[in-house]
């Protein structure tokens, strides 16, 4: 069964460093998302991406964050200068939209990347 | 105020019991999702529904759009059902695909 994959599973970085989290969405999916979950808190939406551009972003997704689909298969989240409060589990998700009559589609989540900023 | 509220926050039950987890939301939605998060952190989609009721094995999800309420039921619960169950909604904004999450319900089923 197709699945969303994410690398690395755990990333430790120092405050101020840049990190890139990588995701490979399900191959025929058209919508891609990043969510994060700070330990003990609920999952929060960061950004959605469709047709090679950001379709929606949250207040959390400020200038320190960027997303890219560099090669048609990978979907990346970059944090330019990490802060302690960026420590969280980051989930990538993808959904199939536009290929079926239904507007609303199930989102498939990757296993997450645990980011620890020290 | 949270847009999505779940109850209870924690639920402990004995194997075999019938489980109900509730979700109330305050915004107009196009769809509601029930998700399962295991201790390792991974999230699995259980149901997506916009009306009525869906059943998959021992899991049943219902939604009442007028009352802005959904329930997730587990029949004949088993220790392997122990996980965090999360309700998430898709707000009814044109083009919006994002999910807004509840805080989750931690379910523990004892043998």
DSSP string, B2-15: -SEEEE-SEEEEET
- The whole-number pLDDT of residue A102 equals 47
Confidence band for B2, pLDDT divided at 50, 70 and 90: confident
Give the residue-averaged pLDDT of A51-64.
92
Q: Residue B20: which of B60, B63, B50, B53 has the closest Cα?
A: B60
What would the pLDDT profile of A61-108 be if each residue is shown by its tens digit? 999 999 999 887 899 999 999 999 999 999 999 998 654 444 557 889
| Confidence at B96, pLDDT banded by 50, 70, 90 | low
- Quote the minimal CA–CA distance from A86 to chain B in Å: 17
- pLDDT of A11 higher than 70: yes
Position B95 scores a pLDDT of 58
Q: How many interchain CB pairs under 8 A, A with B? A: 62
Average pLDDT over residues B33-42: 90
Report chain A's mean pLDDT, rounded to a whole number.
91
Distance CA B23, CA B15 (A): 23
Quick one: pLDDT at residue A18?
98
pLDDT in tens, B46-69: 999 989 999 999 999 999 999 999
Task: Mark yes or no for CB contact B86/A43 under 8 Å.
Answer: yes
Test B90 with A104 for CB contact under 8 angstroms: yes
Residue range B10-30: mean pLDDT, rounded: 96
| Residue that is written with structure tokens 């004949």 in the block | B76
Per-residue buried b or exposed e for A65-102, using 16+ beta carbons within 10 Å of the residue's own CB: bebebeeeeebbbebeebeeebbbbbbbbbbbbeeeee
- Is the model's pLDDT at B70 over the cut of 70? yes
pLDDT at residue A49 in the model: 92
Q: How does strand B59-64 pair with strand B83-91?
A: unpaired
CB contact under 8 A, A48 and B97: yes
Residues B4-17 have pLDDT tens digits of 999 999 999 999 99
**A55: how many CB neighbours lie within 10 A of its CB?**
16
Given this model, what pLDDT does residue B79 score? 96
Among partner residues A56, A108, A111, which is closest to B96 by beta-carbon distance?
Answer: A56
């Amino acid at each position: 069964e197709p699945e969303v994959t994410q690398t690395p599973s755990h990333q430790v970085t120092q405050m101020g460093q840049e990190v890139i989290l990588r995701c490979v969405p399900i191959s025929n999916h058209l919508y891609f998302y990043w969510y994060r979950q700070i330990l003990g808190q609920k999952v929060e939406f960061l950004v959605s991406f469709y047709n090679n551009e950001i379709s929606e972003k949250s207040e959390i997704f400020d200038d320190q964050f960027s997303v890219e689909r560099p090669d048609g298969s990978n979907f990346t989240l970059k944090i330019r200068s990490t802060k302690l409060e960026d420590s969280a589990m980051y989930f990538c998700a993808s959904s199939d939209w536009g290929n079926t009559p239904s507007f609303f589609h199930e989102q498939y989540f990757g296993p997450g990347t645990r980011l620890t900023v020290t | 105020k949270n847009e999505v509220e779940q109850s209870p926050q924690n639920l402990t039950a004995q194997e075999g019991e019938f489980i109900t987890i509730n979700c109330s939301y305050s915004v107009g939605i196009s769809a509601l999702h029930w998700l399962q998060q295991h201790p390792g952190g991974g999230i699995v989609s259980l149901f997506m529904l916009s009306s009525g009721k869906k059943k998959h094995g021992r899991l049943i999800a219902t939604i009442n759009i007028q009352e802005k309420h959904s329930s997730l039921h587990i029949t004949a619960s088993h220790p392997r059902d122990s996980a965090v169950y999360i309700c998430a909604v898709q707000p009814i904004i044109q083009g919006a695909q994002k999910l807004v999450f509840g805080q989750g319900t931690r379910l523990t089923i004892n043998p």
